[in-house]
Amino acid sequence: MINMEEQIWHKHNWPNNVKKSLEYPNEPLYKILENTAEKSGELPYIIFSGTTTTYAEANLASNKVANFLIQNGVKKGDKIAIFLPNTPHYPIVFFGILKAGAVAVTCNPTYTKDELAYQLKDSEAIYAFVFDHERFAPAAYEAIKGTKVKKVIICSAKDFLSKMKGILGGLLGKVPKSPYYEDDVTFFFKDVMEADTTKPEGIDIDPKEDLAMLIYTGGTTGVPKGVMLTHHNLYANVLQLDEFVWIHPDDGSEPFKLRYGKEVFIGALPWYHSYGLTLTMIGGAYKAAKVIPIPDPRAGKPPLSVVLEAINDHKVTVLHAVPTIYAAIGSIYSQDPEKYDLTSILGCGSGAAPLAPELAKNFEKITGGTVFEAYGLSETSPLATLNPTNKVQRKFGSVGFPVSDTYVKIVDLETGQKELPIGEDGEIALAGPQIMKGYWNKPEATTEVFREFDDMKFFLTGDIGHIDEEGYTLVTDRKKDMVIVGGLKAYPREIEDILFGHPKVKLAAILGLPKEDDPTTEYVAAFLVLNDGETATEEEIIEWCKDKMAGYKRPRTVQFRDELPLSTVGKVLRRVIKEKELES
């Protein structure tokens, strides 16, 4: 077993007030909500469109979800899909699924019917909670065909609006609504809320073994895989985050951890993703914080102004976001600095893409808060490393130190079995209580990404980096070919497979190219060879993609080539194409 005291990251700039190792309660993840409801049930949890759901109300409503599922035949270990944006339903449904002993399958609400169908089929989900919306609900009805999904539970925005707002919204057409409902498979959330409020009994959860969530990731091949996260994985990650984040006031006063019952979190990141779900929705509940869900962060004029309005109106203190959101907030604020007061912000996490130092410093100048960069993956619940949350010990360009009870090794790229020395680039490998159990129904893929060192299992991340002489981890490249679009990950093979379905396309290559106005994020670029005698336009291909993949995956540019560079076995050499594009 590795000695935690001997790690290089503890010997230089490790924050004095952060424990190297923690005690983790052996209890199910839903106890986070129950504990807060028992201690501070009167405090507001979710604030949405002028209505408030307290912790006590959310806890009782989650009991209703659990009882409804059990009464309708759900057994321990069954998979229940959540196809919702960030609305007040989400935490109630999520914790309710866990209380029923079931597993939450979080689905990207921007998915097309085909993308959703794959996830429902692979996960073997038997129920799905779906947002009442002109696009989401019809997509779900189509997606469940040929899957094990028995019922769709429709969740309407009206469920959490005052009666008058709901009536007026319906009359004026402002409340989203599906154009139809399939009676034979449909329940409504209001039906669920008629269930018993008592907590289900007799469901024995083993936190370290039993799954809480399946979250899908493309991995190195681009084929979506279900990441199996246990109750313990997610619970531990919430505690690791809470331990590492200390607020250091600029006036020199004593640093403090986030305050129980005092903070206001904003749900600007989607909760189907582990970054938003763990750090904001669940992490907020652990701290008895107010949580402001943002169903569509790109809403408003200009886009993303809804986030600034929420920060201003609710005096948000904690923001977790991606660099593109920080850039957008800074840009909107600079156009009308008198319109928004963002000085309530204390701490801001940034992840999913590299953070430019000037971007962070500009945001700190606007808000007075501190931005700290993190690193992690769906497979790590997601938090693995974090920069010290003060402006003295953090190191821009790095992703900081492993959080408590977490280990980083740099291993060779070929086998992942040889540990490399300090300063040498290799594949980043991680071990800790937040590391996934494995990939759902993919034992070979699971075996491929784990290696054993010092009697511990290390997860091979697929990312390239090194540890410097002070113990900071630096991510220098991506072994995977994924494209990071505004913090979301698009996988070239998945997009190429769809493009090969176009009758005119003979060969396709997908690359991520840096945006000219923001090099920290990328856009999807398609390079196509057409079948002999065929012609096509860029607009034609982009239009064809619209109903076949989520918006962030769609090619922004399309170039037609007579040929693409191929390896000796006929594989398209994306690297060669990208090098030429960047040169030009």
* pLDDT band per the 50, 70, 90 thresholds, residue 319: very high
* Sign of the torsion angle spanned by Cα atoms 303, 88, 163, 185: positive
Q: What is the pLDDT of residue 212?
A: 98
Rounded CA separation 7/30 (Å) = 33
Q: What is the pLDDT of residue 226?
A: 97
Which tokens hold the place of 191? 């039906």
Q: What is the pLDDT of residue 167?
A: 47
Q: Which residues neighbour 482 within 8 Å (Cβ) at sequence distance 6 or greater?
A: 218, 222, 489, 490, 491, 492, 512
Asked whether the beta carbons of 408 and 385 are under 8 A apart, the reply is yes
* pLDDT band per the 50, 70, 90 thresholds, residue 318: very high
Q: What is the pLDDT of residue 45?
A: 98
**Residue range 113-132: average pLDDT?**
96
Q: What is the pLDDT of residue 414?
A: 86
**Residue range 238-259: average pLDDT?**
94
Q: Are strands 522-530 and 505-514 parallel, antiparallel or unpaired?
A: antiparallel
pLDDT of 209-228, one tens digit each? 999 999 998 544 457 899 99
pLDDT of 189-209, one tens digit each? 999 999 999 999 989 999 999
Q: What is the pLDDT of residue 488?
A: 83
Task: Give the per-residue SS3 of 77-97.
Answer: CCEEEEECCCCCHHHHHHHHH
Instruction: Report CA-CA distances (Å) from 292 to 87, 103, 437, 563.
Output: 9, 25, 31, 50
User: Does position 572 have pLDDT exceeding 80, yes or no?
Assistant: no
How many other C-beta atoms are found inside a 10 Å radius of the C-beta of residue 10? 15
Write the DSSP symbol of residue 403: P
Which tokens hold the place of 377? 């993956």
Q: What is the pLDDT of residue 496?
A: 85
Average pLDDT in the chain: 91
How many other C-beta atoms are found inside a 10 Å radius of the C-beta of residue 557? 14
Q: Which residue has the higher pLDDT, 445 or 2?
A: 445
Q: What is the pLDDT of residue 353?
A: 72
* pLDDT band per the 50, 70, 90 thresholds, residue 464: confident
User: Does position 173 have pLDDT exceeding 60, yes or no?
Assistant: no
**Residue range 312-328: average pLDDT?**
91
Query: In 3-state terms, the chain is what percent helix, strand and coil (to 5)?
Result: 30, 25, 45
Rounded CA separation 78/72 (Å) = 12
Q: What is the pLDDT of residue 481?
A: 73
Q: What is the pLDDT of residue 569?
A: 43
Q: What is the pLDDT of residue 171?
A: 43
Range in 136-145, 329-338, 517-526 with the lowest mean pLDDT: 517-526
Q: What is the pLDDT of residue 2?
A: 66
Could you tell me where the beta strands, DSSP code E, fall in 124-164?
127-131, 151-155
pLDDT of 407-434, one tens digit each? 999 999 889 999 999 999 899 999 999 9
* pLDDT band per the 50, 70, 90 thresholds, residue 163: low
Which tokens hold the place of 221? 């091949």
**Residue range 62-68: average pLDDT?**
98
Which tokens hold the place of 312? 């201003």
**Residue range 154-175: average pLDDT?**
68
Q: Which amino acid is at 189?
A: F
**Residue range 294-309: average pLDDT?**
91
**Residue range 79-101: average pLDDT?**
98
Rounded CA separation 544/539 (Å) = 9
User: Does position 568 have pLDDT exceeding 70, yes or no?
Assistant: no
Domains, in order of start, for the chain = 4-24+216-478 (3.40.50.12780), 31-42+52-206 (3.40.50.980), 483-583 (3.30.300.30)
Question: Read out DSSP for 440-485?
Answer: TT-HHHHHHTEEEETTEEEEEEEEEEEE-TTS-EEEEEESS--EEE
Q: What is the pLDDT of residue 532?
A: 82
Q: What is the pLDDT of residue 357?
A: 83
The percent of residues in the chain predicted with pLDDT above 70, rounded, is 95
pTM for this one? Answer: 0.86
CA 384 to chain centre: 14
* Sign of the torsion angle spanned by Cα atoms 439, 444, 450, 453: positive
Q: Are strands 473-478 and 290-293 parallel, antiparallel or unpaired?
A: unpaired
CA nearest to 48, candidates 134, 136, 165, 131: 165
Q: What is the pLDDT of residue 337?
A: 92
Q: What is the pLDDT of residue 575?
A: 78
Q: What is the pLDDT of residue 491?
A: 75
Rounded CA separation 63/226 (Å) = 26
